[in-house]
């Protein structure tokens, strides 16, 4: 069977997107999608022959220039000018993995038959995706309001033989790549430029990418937190289901249940404890980790709706014989949820760093800074500094973008979402979280060795054995930068059960 995902009107889910990406599936239009696109384009072509009235974005200017009527002979040039003029992104380049998701989501949105694009335009986007021809796109330039105009303009430039793309790891002019592939540049027809540039695929692609990583790190935060609990000689009672059934937040219940599973059979957790209570960073793991899980679930629902939506403007409704200009490109639903997600992920990092701090504090029979011959050795003193600095940065990054708005387009676009900034910040936060958790794992795996010969659960011991193959125990001071980087790589490449993404 061919490794192909067919674009249909069936709902995309985060799990399906993850499968498409992880299995490197190729894309193809279903017959249904092909028919939707062709039928809508034919309707628009016929409408342009019979209607003299101005239709926004089809035979008018854009933004505050909506009252300027454009003659029929200039409609293709209008669309080409739109793509070129809006390609004014700047800053860092969008990661190639996110560019690929942008292509997937733009293809999906255009396939519903409400955007009026040519079939060959969508097929060329599929060609780019399938051949890993990835447009060079920049992180800065979108207000997240009239769609992600600047990023999507850069996504669209190669269609007309403009801009640059990455192929086989090399940055090349799009024109040369088209020649090499034997492809002619697309001649954009009425509305096509607007259909390509209006849309939320920049914000959506970032959101999908961050969500996939967030789900994995949420799970790993539990696993690493369980190692820390064992290393700190913590108590299992706060994870008793009776506590959580009387405050039945789903994430809280799931977290407590997972900890009981992770620690089943542990000798350390069942030994008699000298202390009556643990600090909040251990005792309240179900409540804090659980709240982040609930946030992730909410954000997943919003993005599931978004990636299955038509977000360009105007929208074409063949059955009603209407072309309606509205605001589906406005990124407010995404801006709010991306901010919420960023806050929730920053909190996972915040509580993680507190556990790291407790582990190095010389409490509960653990040596200060988790090393023998302290004084001569500084041990794990400074990785906690590093974690603290990253946690502080995440707090700053978690300041909401969505509360801001700056007027643009001569007042026509007088409220914007700033969702694109929320999206790029969310990626930085989740990447930072990975490093914070890596530092906690370094500390927890070191600390648990001071509980020997007692053993943790079979799962935890297998996890630690796998980790020790990448990062050995610290006997004497060494350059811990390399340990941090190797731990990040260990977490990054760790394969987890796909059921976690459901």
Catalytic residues, by residue number, are: 56
Torsion angle defined by CA atoms of residues 480, 378, 391 and 230, in that order, rounded to the nearest 10 degrees: 90
Half-sphere exposure of 424 (CA within 13 A, CB side): 20
CA distance 241 to 441: 26
CA distance 260 to 255: 9
According to DSSP, the residues that pair with 138 across neighbouring strands are 93
Strands 4-7, 26-29: pairing kind: parallel
Give exposure, 96-134, as e/b (b: 16+ Cβ within 10 Å): eebbbbbbbbbbbbbbbbbbbbbbbbbbbbbebbeeebb
Q: Is the backbone of residue 39 left (phi > 0), alpha (psi -120 to 50) or beta? A: alpha
Tell me which DSSP letter residue 413 carries: B
For the chain, count helices (H), then strands (E): 19, 9
Half-sphere exposure of 278 (CA within 13 A, CB side): 24
């Amino acid at each position: 069977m061919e490794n192909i995902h067919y674009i249909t009107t069936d709902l995309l889910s985060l799990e399906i997107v993850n499968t498409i990406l992880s299995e490197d599936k190729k894309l193809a239009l279903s017959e249904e999608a092909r028919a939707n696109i062709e039928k809508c384009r034919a309707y628009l072509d016929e409408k342009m022959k019979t209607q003299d009235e101005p239709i926004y974005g089809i035979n008018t200017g854009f933004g505050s220039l909506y009252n300027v009527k454009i003659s029929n002979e200039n409609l293709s040039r209008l669309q080409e000018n739109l793509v070129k003029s809006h390609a004014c992104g700047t800053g860092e380049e969008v990661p190639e993995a996110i560019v690929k998701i942008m292509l997937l989501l733009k293809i999906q949105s255009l396939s519903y038959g409400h955007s009026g694009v040519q079939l060959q335009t969508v097929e060329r986007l599929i060609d780019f995706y399938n051949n890993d021809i990835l447009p060079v796109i920049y992180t800065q330039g979108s207000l997240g309001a009239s769609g992600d105009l600047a990023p999507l303009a850069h996504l669209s430039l190669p269609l007309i033989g403009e801009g640059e793309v990455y192929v086989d790891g090399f940055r090349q002019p799009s024109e040369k790549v088209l020649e090499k592939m034997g492809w002619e540049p697309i001649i954009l027809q009425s509305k096509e430029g607007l259909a390509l540039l209006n849309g939320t695929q920049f914000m959506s692609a970032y959101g999908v990418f961050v969500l996939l990583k967030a789900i994995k790190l949420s799970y790993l935060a539990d696993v690493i937190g369980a190692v820390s609990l064992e290393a700190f000689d913590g108590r299992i009672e706060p994870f008793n289901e009776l506590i959580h059934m009387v405050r039945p937040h789903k994430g809280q219940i799931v977290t407590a249940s997972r900890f009981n599973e992770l620690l089943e059979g542990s000798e350390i957790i069942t030994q008699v404890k000298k202390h009556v209570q643990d600090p909040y960073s251990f005792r309240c793991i179900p409540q804090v980790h659980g709240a982040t899980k609930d946030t992730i679930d909410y954000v997943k629902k919003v993005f599931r709706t978004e990636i299955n939506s038509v977000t360009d403007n105007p929208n074409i409704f063949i059955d009603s014989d209407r072309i309606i200009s509205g605001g589906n490109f406005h990124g407010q639903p995404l801006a709010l949820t991306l901010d919420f997600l960023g806050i929730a992920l920053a909190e996972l990092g915040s509580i993680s760093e507190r556990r790291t701090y407790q582990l190095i504090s010389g409490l509960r029979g653990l040596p200060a800074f988790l090393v023998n011959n302290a004084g001569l050795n500084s041990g794990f003193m400074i990785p906690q500094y590093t974690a603290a600095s990253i946690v502080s940065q995440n707090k700053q990054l978690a300041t909401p973008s969505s509360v801001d708005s700056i007027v643009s387009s001569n007042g026509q676009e007088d409220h914007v979402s700033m969702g694109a900034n929320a999206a790029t910040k969310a990626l930085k936060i989740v990447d930072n979280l990975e490093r914070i958790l890596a530092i906690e794992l370094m500390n927890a795996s070191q600390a648990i060795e001071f509980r020997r010969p007692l053993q943790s659960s079979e799962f935890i011991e297998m996890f630690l054995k796998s980790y020790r193959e990448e990062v050995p125990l610290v006997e004497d001071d060494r350059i811990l930068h390399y340990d941090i980087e190797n731990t990040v790589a260990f977490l990054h490449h760790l394969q987890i059960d796909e059921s976690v993404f459901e």
